[in-house]
Amino acid sequence: MERRPEESPSSAFGLVGETVREERYLQVLHPVPAVLARNADEVQRAYQEYQEKALGRTGLRKMYIGTLTLTLFLAVFIAVMLALLLGGQLARPLLMLLQGTKEVAEGDLSPKRELKSRDELGMLTQQFNQMTRQLAEARLAVEENRTALEQSKAYLESVLQNLTAGVLVFDRRFVLITANPGAERIFRQPFGAVLGLPVEQIPGMGPFGEIVRQAFSDQNTSEVLGGAEHWQKQIELPQGEEQPLTLLVRGARLPGGERDEPGYVIVFDDISDVISAQRSVAWGEVARRLAHEIKNPLTPIQLSAERLQMKLSPKLEGTDADVLKRGAATIVNQVAAMKRMVDDFRDYARTPPAMLQSLQLNSLVAEVLHLYGIDDPAVHEHPVIHPTLGTALPEIKGDPTQLRQVIHNLLQNAQDAAAENVAAGRAAPHITLNTETVEYKDSAGENRQAVKLTIADNGPGFAPRILSRAFEPYVTTKAKGTGLGLAMVKKIIDEHGARIELRNRMEGAELVGAQISILFVKLT
C-alpha cells in the first residue's frame, strides 16, 4: 500500500518555508482468497488484452480502410471494364455500320464484315451488307449499261462519220441537232457552227428546209389515210452558176420518250452522178436509134442532090447554075456532117467491150505521141506537148485500141483548149503528159499500187456548170463539137475498171488550165 509523504504543519497552515520530503514505503503481505486472486488475474489478463487491442485498433482500422479502398477501386475498375466490354459489344456493330457507311459514301461497295449474332444489331449489319451488295450489283449493271451505251454511241458515230450519205437530225421545231460529215460534203459547208439554228436560218438551206417541212406536212395527211411512216423524194437544189444539186431525200420521225419530244431524221444522197449516168444511158439509146433511123435516108438525099446537079447543070446557065451548084454542095456537105455525127452516135452507142490484156502504158503513150511528131518522149523537143514518163511502171490490163483512142482524144482536146490561148493573145500553148506509179488503200485498208496518167493544159478550163457534167453526152464548149469525146473516154475508162477525174488547175485564185487524171488499178 503506497503511503504518501507527510505534509508539514507549515504547509498545512499555508506557511512559507522550505519543506523537506522523504519518500517512504510500507509493504504489507496479506494472503488473499484464491477466488479473488483468480479474478484479479483474469481482470489483469483482460486488461492486458484490452490494452493490446487498444494498441492495435489504429493499425486494424487503417488495414480495414485500405482493404475497403482497394475493394472499392477494384469494383470500380471491374465496373468500368464491364461497361467498356459491354459498350464495345454494343458499339462494335454501330462502328462497323458507320465505317461501312463511310466506305459506301466514298464509292467502295465491296463486301463488308458481318456481325455473327442474331440480335437486332447483327440483323442490322447483315441487312446493310445485303443493301451494299444490291447497290454494287446495281452499279455494275449501270456501268455495263453505260459501257454498252457508249459503245453503241461510238459505233453509231463511227457509222455516221463514215457514211457517204448525208444525215441531218432536227427537233420538232426543225432546229438542227446533228449533222454528219456526209451532209457537210454534199452541201459543201460545215454544220458545226450552225447547230441549234432552225433550218431556214442556215445559209443556203432555205429551199431545202421548205421542201422538207412540206414533205413532213404531206406525210401527216398520208398517215391518216394509212400511208407509210416515212417519205422519199428526189429534189433539185440550185447552186448558182454551178450544176444544180440533185438529191434523193428520205425522211422519218424519230420516236419520242415520255418526256422527250419527237424529232426528225433526214437521210439524203447526192445522185447527180446517178442522174448523169442515167442520162448517158438514155443518150446511148437515143444515139442508137438516131444512127439507125437517120443514116438510112442520108445516102439517098446525097445521091439525089448530086443527080439533080448532074442533070440540071447542062440545062442552066449563069446565076441559076451557080444557085444549083451551091445548093447541091450545101446538101452534100450537110449530109456528110450528119453522117459523121451519126457515126459518132453509133460508136458511142455500140462501144465494144474492152478486150483486156497485159500492156505497158508507156509504150502505148509513145505510140500515140509518135502521131504528134514525138519520136522520143525522153527528149522534150515538141513545142507544145511535154511528156514525162515514169520508170519501171507495172503492166496494166487494158485494151490497146481503146486506150489509144482515149489518149489521142485527150491530147486533141488539150491541144484545142491550149490553142484558145493563142487566139486570145495569152500564153503560148503548153501541154504536159505524165505517167507514174502511185499507191492507194483498198477497201481492206491495204496499200496497193496503181498506174496514173495525167494530161494537163493551160487552156481556159471549164466553167463550174460544165465541169460537173463534162462526161455526159452532148455537153461541150466547142462551137462545132458533138460532146461525145469525153463521154466516150468515160465509157472506155469504166470498161477498164479505172478511175477518171477532171478538174480545173488553179494558181491561187487564178484559173490556169484543166487537168484530167486516169488511175489504172487493174495490174498484172
Residue 163: name the closest of 148, 174, 179 by CA: 179
For residue 340 the three cell numbers come to 459523121
The answer to whether residues 462 and 491 touch, using CB atoms and an 8 Å cutoff, is no
- The alpha carbon of residue 138 and the mean position of all alpha carbons in its chain are separated, in whole angstroms, by 29
C-alpha cell of 311? 442533070
Q: Is 505 left (phi over 0), alpha (psi -120 to 50) or beta?
A: beta
Give the count of beta carbons closer than 10 Å to the beta carbon of residue 311. Answer: 10
DSSP state letters, 79-90? HHHHHHHHHHHH
Is pTM, for the whole model, over 0.85? no
pLDDT value, residue 342: 75
Per-residue pLDDT of the chain (524 residues; tens, 9 = 90+): 444 444 444 444 444 445 556 778 788 787 878 888 788 888 888 888 887 777 777 777 888 888 999 999 999 999 999 888 887 777 777 777 777 778 777 777 776 666 666 677 677 777 777 888 888 888 888 889 998 988 888 888 888 888 888 999 998 889 999 899 999 989 888 888 889 999 888 988 888 999 998 888 888 776 655 556 788 999 888 877 677 788 999 999 888 654 566 789 999 998 887 877 777 777 777 767 766 677 777 788 888 888 888 888 888 777 888 888 888 888 888 888 777 777 777 776 667 788 899 999 999 999 999 888 888 887 767 788 999 999 989 999 999 999 999 999 999 989 888 888 766 667 788 899 999 999 988 777 788 999 999 999 988 888 777 777 788 776 777 666 666 788 888 889 988 999 999 999 888 888 888 999 999 999 98
Between CA 5 and CA 24 the distance in angstroms is 7
Residue keyed to cell 458533138: 482
Distances in Å between the Cα of 389 and the Cα atoms of 386, 434, 436, 451, 476 are 10, 5, 7, 11, 30
CA distance 202 to 206: 7
